[in-house]
């Protein structure tokens, strides 16, 4: 049986795992990094993501993570303008009772500017606004084709990390150190792969997206209390114009997003179906999904709700606190990074930075 050793193994090559690997090679260029995915890169929740970055956070930590991530993506785009990250003008709609909360959660840099609802400037077609609705224009929003972004970023990463796609991690267990070139005094983590190979790593980052219940880590993650919730978004077959804006309906945590790059609108609403298995969601939209989504869309933009139905269905991991979870597990050699509550694209850079902080990368010795 083949046995391989690496300084750090990152399990899961979605947007989170990809940015974790990127962060590690930036901080520790000498480190050997193995990035593993049971599928092709980006093919999990990242592939289905609406990819909206909205400059807000419900808590102080999430606002910090939002600001950090917004700057990170802006720099990425600045350095590589061809990346599929698109600035989008955005409006926020809320009932008057929620106006102060809106001001609390949006970043100062969003520069919320009130708009007179009678001017019909929310920016999307056929909107129905709640009575006395308040509207603000907001700066700093963007959306990405997250799948394409992950593939673009991994193309660059391939020169720096060992990327293994189609390789399932079957089991994970702590072992004594097995790197033949190192003193046998430090522990490691052994990953048994679906290919029959075994890899040992000094440190492991788990970035499994909604695959929290995989046998290899189900028990280790159970104390975190994260759960998996279904996410449904409708596609509205109407071509957005250049002046159309994303509209966030704060009261219902829903949004309309003009996907200029794909030529249609997307409507996301809050689905409340919990404890789903990502491997059971390949069947597409159910009649219930369509009913719920349409009912929500009718409240905001009735004309759009009558278009022929299409959309995307998947799921994401949610934490008990509403904040992403970045935690060292057990003796600290394994770090979990995820449970970002349907915001894993927009917070991924900050999640990756927090994960790298927990890895003690400075102790990795230079390799011969």
Site residues for ligand FAD per CB under 6 A? 11-17, 36-39, 43-46, 48-52, 146, 168-169, 207-211, 214, 216, 231, 233, 312, 314, 316, 338, 340, 342-346
Pick the closer one to ligand FAD by CB: 170 or 251. 170
Pick the closer one to ligand FAD by CB: 177 or 220. 220
**Minimum CB–partner distance for residue 168 and ligand FAD (Å):** 5
Pairing outcome for strands 162-164 and 169-176:
unpaired
Pick the closer one to ligand FAD by CB: 133 or 326. 326
Pick the closer one to ligand FAD by CB: 21 or 135. 21
Write out the two tokens for 305.
Answer: 């709700």
Give me Rg for the CA atoms of the chain. 21
**Minimum CB–partner distance for residue 15 and ligand FAD (Å):** 5
Rounded Cα–Cα distance for residues 55 and 70 (Å): 8
Write out the two tokens for 86.
Answer: 């698109």
Q: Phi/psi of residue 254, each to 5°?
A: -125, 160
**Minimum CB–partner distance for residue 181 and ligand FAD (Å):** 26
Rounded Cα–Cα distance for residues 79 and 93 (Å): 33
Rounded Cα–Cα distance for residues 68 and 46 (Å): 20
Where is 331: in which H helix or E strand? none
Pick the closer one to ligand FAD by CB: 122 or 326. 326
Rounded Cα–Cα distance for residues 355 and 329 (Å): 12
**Minimum CB–partner distance for residue 298 and ligand FAD (Å):** 20
Contact present, 245 and 135 (Cβ < 8 Å): no
**Minimum CB–partner distance for residue 285 and ligand FAD (Å):** 11
Give me the half-sphere count of Cα atoms (radius 13 Å) on the Cβ side of residue 51. Answer: 27
Pick the closer one to ligand FAD by CB: 30 or 237. 237
Residue nearest to ligand FAD (CB): 344
Where is 42: in which H helix or E strand? none
**Minimum CB–partner distance for residue 85 and ligand FAD (Å):** 12
List Cβ neighbours of 317 (8 Å cut-off, separation of 6 or more).
209, 210, 212, 226, 227, 228, 338, 339, 340, 341
Counted residue by residue, the chain has a size of: 368
Pick the closer one to ligand FAD by CB: 57 or 210. 210
Q: Taking the chain, what is the end-to-end CA distance rounded to the nearest angstrom? A: 25
**Minimum CB–partner distance for residue 24 and ligand FAD (Å):** 15
**Minimum CB–partner distance for residue 355 and ligand FAD (Å):** 11
Strands (E), 269-354: 310-318, 325-329, 334-338
Pick the closer one to ligand FAD by CB: 43 or 99. 43
């Amino acid at each position: 049986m083949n046995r391989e050793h690496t300084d750090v193994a990152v399990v899961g090559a979605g947007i989170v795992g990809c940015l974790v690997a990127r962060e590690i090679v930036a901080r520790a260029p000498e480190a050997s990094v193995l990035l593993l995915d049971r599928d092709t890169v980006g093919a999990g929740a990242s592939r289905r993501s609406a990819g909206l970055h909205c400059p807000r956070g419900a808590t102080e930590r999430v606002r910090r993570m939002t600001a950090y991530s917004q700057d990170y993506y802006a720099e990425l785009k600045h350095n590589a303008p061809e990346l599929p990250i698109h600035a989008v003008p955005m409006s926020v709609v809320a009932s008057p009772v929620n106006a102060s909360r809106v001001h609390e959660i949006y970043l100062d840099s969003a520069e919320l500017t009130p708009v007179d609802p009678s001017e019909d400037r929310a920016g999307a077609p056929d909107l129905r606004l709640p009575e006395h609705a308040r509207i603000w224009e907001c700066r700093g929003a963007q959306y990405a084709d997250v799948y394409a972004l992950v593939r673009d970023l991994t193309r660059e990463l391939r020169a720096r990390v060992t990327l293994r796609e189609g390789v399932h991690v079957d089991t994970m267990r702590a072992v004594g150190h097995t790197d033949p070139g190192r003193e046998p005094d430090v522990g490691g983590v052994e990953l048994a792969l679906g290919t029959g190979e075994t890899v040992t790593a000094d440190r492991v980052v788990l970035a499994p997206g909604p695959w929290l219940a995989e046998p290899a880590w189900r028990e280790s993650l159970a104390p975190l209390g994260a759960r998996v919730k279904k996410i449904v978004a409708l596609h509205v077959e109407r071509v957005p114009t250049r002046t159309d804006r994303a509209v966030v309906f704060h009261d219902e945590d829903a949004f309309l997003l003009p996907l200029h790059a794909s030529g249609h609108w997307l409507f996301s609403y809050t689905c409340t179906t919990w404890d789903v298995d990502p491997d059971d969601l390949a069947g597409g939209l159910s009649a219930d999904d369509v009913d719920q989504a349409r009912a929500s869309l009718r409240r905001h933009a009735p004309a759009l709700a009558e278009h022929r139905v299409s959309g995307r269905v998947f799921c994401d991991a949610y934490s008990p606190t509403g904040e992403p979870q970045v935690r060292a597990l057990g003796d600290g050699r394994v770090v979990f990074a995820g449970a970002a509550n349907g915001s894993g694209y927009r917070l991924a850079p900050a999640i990756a930075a927090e994960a790298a902080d927990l890895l003690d990368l400075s102790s990795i010795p230079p390799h011969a």
